[in-house]
Amino acid sequence: MYQIVICDDENSSILELKAFLTQYADETGKEFVFYDFHDGTELLQNYQMDFDLIFMDIKMEKLNGLKTAEEIRKMDDAVGLFFLTSLPQYVWQGYEYGAINYLLKPLKYGRLKLELDRFFARYQGREDAYISFSNDSGKYKVLYKDLRYAETAKRNVLLHFDKEEQVIYKNMKEVAALLEKHRQFVRCHASFIVNMAYVKSVEDLEVVLRTGERVPISQPKRKEFMAKLADFWGDML
């Protein structure tokens, strides 16, 4: 299943592109999940590292597509990117941000199909995302899916993964900014972030992991945590 983003401040353009993409999915047997955003700021605030392909309008009022792409490339150099424009003079600027190609408005299904065929012919899906860091013990590359939880350790953060734990020389605010881009991670306490994929149950103010470990939940964060967990578990069923 592919995660497809459409970022355009014209709702009619979003609906038209989504209809074309649905037609393409029906013809090819691919499965798409759509995420709609109406300006670049909204997209950046809700960005997920498992997005596969973005269709980005260049000319948007709040934050234009070029500036948005520039920020996206600072944190994700793997996502596919098509620019949408009715102004061909902006096209060449788009390639500076790793655009696959551009599509002129009004869209034509034949051109879109051709570009999608080319994209999927070479796109093998994302490699498992990971966090890399070094400390006094060595260098580490940890898959996000293997990271159970993180906790504050003095001025740094202790990461719990596989059968070990290692310090990353960042504060909790910095680590949270990295982890919370991935929807399975949620802050359950000022000092703890947990991977919901490992949650077995919740007992009072503790998260019980499948490993038997227990992670505290603060009372102020409990309601939000339980809502996010219910949503995550709902998607897993």
Residue 126 near residue 144 (C-beta atoms within 8 A): no
Please give the Cα distance from 218 to 87 (Å, whole number).
Answer: 51
User: What would the two tokens of residue 205 be?
Assistant: 């103010």
Helix, strand, coil share (%) of the chain residues, nearest 5: 40, 35, 30
Residue 94 near residue 69 (C-beta atoms within 8 A): yes
Residue owning tokens 């709609």: 36
Please give the Cα distance from 214 to 98 (Å, whole number).
Answer: 43
- Of the chain, the percentage scoring pLDDT greater than 90 comes to 58
Residues present in the chain in total: 237
Is residue 3 predicted with pLDDT exceeding 60?
yes
Is residue 6 predicted with pLDDT exceeding 70?
yes
Please give the Cα distance from 30 to 82 (Å, whole number).
Answer: 18
Is residue 237 predicted with pLDDT exceeding 50?
no
Pick the CATH number of 130-236 from 3.40.50.180, 2.60.120.10, 3.40.50.2300, 2.40.50.1020: 2.40.50.1020
Q: Mean pLDDT score of the chain, rounded to an integer?
A: 88
Is residue 91 predicted with pLDDT exceeding 80?
no
Is residue 234 predicted with pLDDT exceeding 80?
no
Mean pLDDT of 46-62: 86
Mean pLDDT of 173-183: 89
193-228 pLDDT tens trace: 999 999 999 999 999 999 999 999 999 999 999 999
Mean pLDDT of 227-237: 77
Please give the Cα distance from 1 to 98 (Å, whole number).
Answer: 23
pLDDT tier, 136 (very low <50, low <70, confident <90, very high otherwise): very high
Residue range(s) of every CATH 3.40.50.2300 domain in the chain:
2-122
Is residue 97 predicted with pLDDT exceeding 70?
no
Mean pLDDT of 11-38: 94
pLDDT tier, 20 (very low <50, low <70, confident <90, very high otherwise): very high
Is residue 167 predicted with pLDDT exceeding 50?
yes
Comparing C-alpha atoms, which of 188, 181, 211 is closest to residue 198? 211
Residue range(s) of every CATH 2.40.50.1020 domain in the chain:
130-236
159 CB neighbour count, 10 Å cutoff: 26
Please give the Cα distance from 54 to 44 (Å, whole number).
Answer: 12
Residue owning tokens 């070990």: 164
The per-residue pLDDT for 23 is 97
Mean pLDDT of 150-170: 95
The per-residue pLDDT for 126 is 66
224 CB neighbour count, 10 Å cutoff: 12
Considering 80-89, 123-132, 202-211, the range whose residues carry the highest mean pLDDT is 202-211
How far from 79 is each of 82, 138, 202, 220, CA to CA, in Å? 10, 30, 35, 35
pLDDT tier, 21 (very low <50, low <70, confident <90, very high otherwise): very high
CATH of domain 2-122: 3.40.50.2300
Please give the Cα distance from 7 to 207 (Å, whole number).
Answer: 36
